[in-house]
Chain A
């Protein structure tokens, strides 16, 4: 480095800081709130009132708590699946497409066999949804394993294709024959819908979320598979040395993520939506990426993060309605939150130090730090 300036230097901690692992998301949330308050004040809205509407008010009425859970459910389901990918250092950002694929596959039964209402129908729909998501996720996984194709781009391109495909289905062959040519499928019948298990709106998929959190916690923390994923993600060479197959792990991680996204997809159409529409989700597959990181890829963390994100959606709606704040405020909020989380995560691995750099001091030749190369 040459020239005199202040700069931030990071010193790697010998062990990752447990205090910081817990403190960093909280710090990030606090920073987001502060920045948000400044943003509100600048746009002429009382920051206290705005933050109340955003983060407290949605929790003050039971109906809105129900809505919160319904909104959070698909996001958490997908995030948990994505955590398997991200822990193994594979970048599936196409969960939105896998969700659509799951919704399509699961909807085949109620749309093609509308009168079938036995006890087997719903479980079969769910299984087909999971299978659909898995099959769609297998495409980028296999391309990656077989040809080394960049999975970030293929999985993303497949999102657009899936969205166009479901659009075609809902407007074309799967259109409701009694719907005056409007672009929706026929409404699913009661036996083809996830039952409401609590209150007015809370459906069975809330249970799936809880099961997923527990199972993911167990698999990631207590099984060989979880260990292999972590090792291959953090130190691929050590993993290969231990005889773990990286390719197998990539496929497994993608299949888990796809299956979870597929489950979220069929749960949406056979849940709150009650039919297959031209769009299946308002971007849950992308929101889930934020949730995965915000929750630090830990199942319980992602559960909490999913609830927080759902809260910002509901709060944003309330803020529009009550305070006339723009809808885009929510998006900026979410982006900011993720920025702060990522920035604060640095504290887990490094101690920052502000140093004054003086005259030219060429770097001393050295061997690279083992942690710098993941």
Chain B
């Protein structure tokens, strides 16, 4: 977990810098979660970030959250409650909170709002997101090298651009080391249902895949992989504990540093609305330790990670073809963020059709 330690280090430095600046009344930093704060997945990732804010900024802030907030009118009420209760900055951590956030923000111009994984902003609303596709490219490469069958299983929740982007990036990574790589995709229509995710993993293994990855939040697929003596990747968290023999690595959400940075910006008065799309280099996510892998594969993964961090390499660099064989990005061309955030097509080599 060395990178995460490094992340905490930077955050600490930032915190100390801001420490002197502020006076008595603590700033209230508030969070809205779509699931339980300890769901072991998405919402817990944000809650870990909230705890880091507490830890780093100590008496300067007071954090709180409302959990299990359904998207829609309930979200608007929860956000409004926080705005009315004196929250100085409010993080709304699910895509579906986008419109409610903007609506409440209009009535509370002095409160700063931060909405995760959306695309709309306002003078007092920032949108922030993470380039999870960077991690997915790396695990795709690992899968390409490690799969004897040359085929991986991919358990997915809902066909939104974020998910499609992840599938494409994984596939591009796999194809970079095995051009004939195949992918079997199963949509489970839920972000979180351990039983169903486990069933999907079993079905995929029974169809001959030997590596599994997922865009759903529970560790069940990894547990199944371990049971079968096969392998997979952790999602949102380091899931090593759940499957120490099966996990190759995990894409770990580390929102904490970003949260500390933004809360600090409010404290020292430099907060501005922006649209952030951070990558591994910014510390918004990290790769868990590479385990159960031969040295040369670890070396390959680390090299790719390093080149992504240094900005030398972008996973969506052409030539990229879509399923129809049309060129989407020419040799050397990099897809822009707009194309990534609205992605609704598969790269060549994927046999599935995107659910419409």
CB distance from B256 to the nearest CB of A (A): 20
Q: What are the interface flags for A50-76 relative to B under an 8 Å C-beta threshold, 1 for contact and 0 otherwise? A: 000000000001011001001100000
**Taking the complex as formed, is A35 at the interface, i.e. its CB lies under 8 A from any CB of chain B?**
no
Residues of B within 8 A of A184 (CB): 99
Q: Which of A83-91, A114-122, A289-297, A313-321 contacts B (4 or more CB under 8 A)?
A: A313-321
A-B contact count, CB below 8 Å? 80
Contact of B189 among A64, A164, A173, A187 (CB under 8 A): A164
CB distance from A165 to the nearest CB of B (A): 12
Residues of A within 8 A of B65 (CB): 320-321
Q: Which of B14-22, B155-163, B261-269 contacts A (4 or more CB under 8 A)?
A: B155-163
Residues of B within 8 A of A365 (CB): none
Residues of B within 8 A of A320 (CB): 65-67
**Taking the complex as formed, is B70 at the interface, i.e. its CB lies under 8 A from any CB of chain A?**
yes
With CB as the reference atom, state the residue of chain A lying closest to B35: A327
Q: Are A318 and B81 in contact (CB under 8 A)?
A: yes
Contact of A268 among B64, B73, B96 (CB under 8 A): B73
CB distance from A282 to the nearest CB of B (A): 4
**Taking the complex as formed, is A273 at the interface, i.e. its CB lies under 8 A from any CB of chain B?**
yes
**Taking the complex as formed, is B36 at the interface, i.e. its CB lies under 8 A from any CB of chain A?**
yes
Q: Are A324 and B77 in contact (CB under 8 A)?
A: no
**Size of chain A's interface in residues, with CB distance under 8 A?**
36
Q: Are B342 and A180 in contact (CB under 8 A)?
A: yes
**Taking the complex as formed, is B199 at the interface, i.e. its CB lies under 8 A from any CB of chain A?**
no
Q: What are the interface flags for A174-196 relative to B under an 8 Å C-beta threshold, 1 for contact and 0 otherwise? A: 00000011111001000000000
CB distance from B341 to the nearest CB of A (A): 6
CA gap between A365 and B95 in the complex, in Å: 67
Q: Are B119 and A282 in contact (CB under 8 A)?
A: no
CB distance from B292 to the nearest CB of A (A): 36
Residues of B within 8 A of A282 (CB): 70, 72, 74
CA gap between A271 and B76 in the complex, in Å: 13
Q: Are B356 and A172 in contact (CB under 8 A)?
A: yes
Q: What are the interface flags for A276-308 relative to B under an 8 Å C-beta threshold, 1 for contact and 0 otherwise? A: 011100100000000000000000000000000
CA gap between A164 and B187 in the complex, in Å: 13
Residues of A within 8 A of B77 (CB): 67, 71, 314, 317
Q: Are B84 and A63 in contact (CB under 8 A)?
A: yes
Contact of A272 among B36, B76, B96, B355 (CB under 8 A): B76
**Taking the complex as formed, is B71 at the interface, i.e. its CB lies under 8 A from any CB of chain A?**
yes
**Taking the complex as formed, is B344 at the interface, i.e. its CB lies under 8 A from any CB of chain A?**
yes
Q: Are B36 and A324 in contact (CB under 8 A)?
A: no
Contacting B at CB under 8 A, from A302-338, are 314, 317-318, 320-322, 324, 327
Q: Are A277 and B96 in contact (CB under 8 A)?
A: yes
CB distance from A75 to the nearest CB of B (A): 13
**Taking the complex as formed, is B85 at the interface, i.e. its CB lies under 8 A from any CB of chain A?**
yes
**Taking the complex as formed, is A12 at the interface, i.e. its CB lies under 8 A from any CB of chain B?**
no
Q: Are A317 and B78 in contact (CB under 8 A)?
A: yes
**Taking the complex as formed, is A171 at the interface, i.e. its CB lies under 8 A from any CB of chain B?**
yes
**Size of chain B's interface in residues, with CB distance under 8 A?**
36
Q: Are A327 and B76 in contact (CB under 8 A)?
A: no
**Taking the complex as formed, is B238 at the interface, i.e. its CB lies under 8 A from any CB of chain A?**
no
Contact of A182 among B64, B76, B95 (CB under 8 A): B95
CB distance from B159 to the nearest CB of A (A): 6
Contacting A at CB under 8 A, from B296-339, are none
Q: Are A277 and B189 in contact (CB under 8 A)?
A: no
With CB as the reference atom, state the residue of chain A lying closest to B64: A321
Q: What are the interface flags for B37-73 relative to A under an 8 Å C-beta threshold, 1 for contact and 0 otherwise? A: 0000000000000000000000000001111101111
Residues of B within 8 A of A277 (CB): 71-72, 96
CA gap between A282 and B67 in the complex, in Å: 14
**Taking the complex as formed, is B92 at the interface, i.e. its CB lies under 8 A from any CB of chain A?**
no
Residues of A within 8 A of B356 (CB): 172-173
Residues of B within 8 A of A167 (CB): 189
Q: Are B67 and A327 in contact (CB under 8 A)?
A: yes
Q: Are B161 and A272 in contact (CB under 8 A)?
A: no
CA gap between A321 and B342 in the complex, in Å: 34
With CB as the reference atom, state the residue of chain A lying closest to B80: A63
CB distance from A176 to the nearest CB of B (A): 11
Q: Are B36 and A181 in contact (CB under 8 A)?
A: no
Contact of B70 among A63, A172, A182, A279 (CB under 8 A): A279
Q: Are A183 and B70 in contact (CB under 8 A)?
A: no
CB distance from B249 to the nearest CB of A (A): 29
Residues of B within 8 A of A173 (CB): 356
**Taking the complex as formed, is B82 at the interface, i.e. its CB lies under 8 A from any CB of chain A?**
yes
With CB as the reference atom, state the residue of chain B lying closest to A268: B73
**Taking the complex as formed, is B343 at the interface, i.e. its CB lies under 8 A from any CB of chain A?**
yes
Once A181-B160, A321-B66 are accepted as A-B contacts, the answer to whether A272 and B72 lie under 8 Å apart by CB is yes
Residues of B within 8 A of A172 (CB): 355-356
Residues of B within 8 A of A181 (CB): 160-161, 342-344
Once A70-B73, A164-B189 are accepted as A-B contacts, the answer to whether A321 and B161 lie under 8 Å apart by CB is no
With CB as the reference atom, state the residue of chain B lying closest to A70: B73
CA gap between A322 and B81 in the complex, in Å: 11
Instruction: Give the top 4 A-B pairs by smallest Cβ distance, nearest first.
Output: A272-B73, A282-B70, A180-B342, A327-B68
A-B contacts, 16 listed (Cβ < 8 Å): A67-B77, A67-B80, A71-B74, A71-B77, A180-B119, A181-B344, A182-B95, A268-B73, A272-B76, A277-B96, A317-B77, A320-B66, A321-B30, A321-B66, A322-B85, A327-B36
Further 7 A-B residue pairs, CB within 8 A, beyond A67-B80, A71-B77: A182-B161, A183-B160, A274-B99, A277-B71, A321-B66, A327-B36, A327-B67
